[in-house]
Structure 1
């Protein structure tokens, strides 16, 4: 309450001082000359900005199909073109200020106009250029108010008052100015860290020579390094002694030892998976618990499997280490499947293997390596002779792929074309003894 009343008194005193200065400017020839120079500087900046906007836009706009570093740099600079007018006005006003100070020994009016142009530049930057939600929030509620206070000459007294206001927090205490600086500096540094991490992740995705697991591991290592350096920079800039964080580190260690064992275990398991590369994004895996699907994402805590019916299964990384995992697509290896069928006992079964193998080999996705289709006699059933054909394909026999169904169609057509009968179950009932009939 005391802080608010003191600040209001200072604001009123500053407003009264500004009013007295404004009244003095009204009757001062030097002030009117400065105002005229201010208007001329703005008009000159308006003309120059209009002349430069179109050629600058053409120069900085790369072709849409270009995505090299130079094109990205040009697109990045292009978004700052709206700042051309206020920055040109600020520069011309600065020249006018040096002229008026050399002629009249003062330049308060034109210096005020220069600060106003800077405020307009900050306002355009926050409203039209900054797209990140967090940075836009910081700009709207911190950067624009600071620029407004600077334009009105109230920034220094406001900062002094914020520095004098101490906020107690247990055994610690800090000023409001320190808190605001921490928010601004921390937000800017961590935003830069996130931007750098996104750029490095996009760069790594384009490195086709690296294994997917190595790309994921490198991206995680870069992310940890970037945000670790950002944290140390924030602590150093704000003057926080890192040794004071030893108690906090000990508390975190105790928490990991008791309450966060699973999280730590899953994190370490994720690092092991990335290092070994036994399961990575794009692999179709089946876990010992019955979960099966394609790995679409591997995080620090868990992996996400997508089933062929569109469901996502979140599997902790620890399950990939402590349980049995069947990987159907590791390193792009082929998979073997089989299709069972039967023929009647009237068939010359010596002709069946060659006939079926030739028919299955016609399928465009059936491989000849590592082994061609192989038809085997499996047994003599109750209704017919049992066979099965083994075949190798590149992919998973599920979802969009219907390899077993296609192979069974090929078998059916081959047997029908060669007049081989596919048996169906039938039973022969034998009666022993005589059947007696009773008459009434």
Structure 2
């Protein structure tokens, strides 16, 4: 019995020594130092713990946005910046745990940074612009912005490098953050969501101006279209804009808010349909381009025509 236990203990010790030898055996050399399986396991453990902590930090910052007076876009920027910083620190600690000399790596990184810097100027510019946007808060998640004549929509996501704008056609447009710093951007909802829109329409010559204004305003009060009418500065107005070749041109100037502001094309369509129905209801002629043709005849042509008739 004693011999059996002794044999088991020897076998266990031999297995332990063999396992330890294999785990500490150098697999490859990096930066003049042998890297073993244990070194790799230590690096993996540090990376896992570090990235778990970074993810926890990011989640806590996002939770603060719902409890504290912190905008969602600012929380998004702060959490992303902190996450990447913690990930970088985790990587340095992981390399330090296996005894790597980081001073040599620092020299190599410094030399490479000069060459890489020229190639990453745009990336660095976008990162810097993202930080500026985070503190200025001129563009936030949920804002309705207009970048160009063809790009207009709601800011759906903001990252350190780029911002995502979702158009009314549900198309996601990814825009580098530097574009918001270098170019003009219209933020339709920066201070509030009340905006004035201009709805053009025309009537035929001979229609009294007072009648046009009275009909549109009265029908607007009776309609179910949502618009802003108070305080007095938001009262709808009718402007005459031109006396064209075939029509008298007007604009309905009206203030809208909320969903109507975020869908300008749809809002304009609703008002145009309303105006068309109102004018037809009161039998006001809606003109279309017309051309009167006058035929001029010379005396010789008149004599020829008369001789043919005779």
Identify the TM-score tier after normalising by the shorter chain: 0.7 to 0.9
Partners of 2:16 and 2:215 in 1: CA distance? 91
- What is the TM-score of this pair, normalised by structure 1? 0.59
User: In structure 2, what is the equivalent of residue 261 of structure 1?
Assistant: 121
Which residue, 113, 132, 137 being the options, matches 1:272?
132
SS at match of 2:200: strand
Which residue, 223, 227, 238 being the options, matches 2:87?
227
Q: Mean Cα displacement is larger for which, 400-409 or 383-392?
A: 400-409
Partners of 1:337 and 1:234 in 2: CA distance? 59
User: In structure 1, what is the equivalent of residue 214 of structure 2?
Assistant: 354
User: In structure 1, what is the equivalent of residue 54 of structure 2?
Assistant: 193
User: In structure 1, what is the equivalent of residue 187 of structure 2?
Assistant: 327
**8 Å Cα contact 2:145/2:187 also seen in 1:** yes
Deviations 1:309-340 (A, max 9, x none): 22222211111111121222223332221111
SS at match of 1:351: helix
Q: In proportion to residue count, which structure has more helix?
A: 1
User: In structure 1, what is the equivalent of residue 246 of structure 2?
Assistant: 383
Deviations 1:172-193 (A, max 9, x none): 4333321222123322332332
Deviations 1:149-197 (A, max 9, x none): x9x9845531233213352236443333212221233223323322x13
**8 Å Cα contact 2:27/2:34 also seen in 1:** yes
| Shift of residue 242, structure 1, vs aligned partner | 4.2
User: In structure 2, what is the equivalent of residue 429 of structure 1?
Assistant: 293
Q: Which runs of 5+ in 2 are unaligned?
A: none
| Shift of residue 347, structure 1, vs aligned partner | 1.3
User: In structure 2, what is the equivalent of residue 184 of structure 1?
Assistant: 45
- What is the TM-score of this pair, normalised by structure 2? 0.81
**8 Å Cα contact 1:347/1:420 also seen in 2:** yes
Pair 187,211 (structure 1): closer, same or farther in 2 beyond 3 Å = closer
**8 Å Cα contact 1:357/1:389 also seen in 2:** no
User: In structure 1, what is the equivalent of residue 34 of structure 2?
Assistant: 173
User: In structure 2, what is the equivalent of residue 216 of structure 1?
Assistant: 76
| Shift of residue 341, structure 1, vs aligned partner | 0.9
Partners of 1:207 and 1:245 in 2: CA distance? 42
**8 Å Cα contact 2:144/2:262 also seen in 1:** no
Partners of 1:386 and 1:275 in 2: CA distance? 46
**8 Å Cα contact 2:58/2:79 also seen in 1:** no
| Shift of residue 363, structure 1, vs aligned partner | 4.4
Deviations 1:92-151 (A, max 9, x none): xxxxxxxxxxxxxxxx8xxxxxxxxxxxxxxxxxxxxxxxxxxxxxxxxxxxxxxxxx9x
SS at match of 2:168: coil
Partners of 2:126 and 2:262 in 1: CA distance? 30
RMSD: 3.2
Partners of 2:238 and 2:14 in 1: CA distance? 91
SS at match of 2:272: helix
Partners of 2:160 and 2:78 in 1: CA distance? 13
Q: In proportion to residue count, which structure has more strand?
A: 2
SS at match of 2:210: coil
In the alignment, structure 1 residue 403 sits paired with structure 2 residue 267? yes
Q: Mean Cα displacement is larger for which, 234-243 or 346-355?
A: 234-243
**8 Å Cα contact 1:213/1:275 also seen in 2:** no
Q: Mean Cα displacement is larger for which, 157-166 or 265-274?
A: 157-166
**8 Å Cα contact 1:343/1:384 also seen in 2:** yes
**8 Å Cα contact 2:199/2:272 also seen in 1:** yes
Pair 182,380 (structure 1): closer, same or farther in 2 beyond 3 Å = same
After TM superposition, the structure 1 = structure 2 runs for residues 48-197 of structure 1, keeping only pairs within 5 Å, are 154-155=15-16, 157-165=18-26, 167-169=28-30, 171-194=32-55, 196-197=56-57
Deviations 1:14-54 (A, max 9, x none): xxxxx954988xxxxxxxxxxxxxxxxxxxxxxxxxxxxxx
Pair 291,408 (structure 1): closer, same or farther in 2 beyond 3 Å = closer
SS at match of 1:331: coil
**8 Å Cα contact 2:62/2:72 also seen in 1:** no
In the alignment, structure 1 residue 308 sits paired with structure 2 residue 168? yes
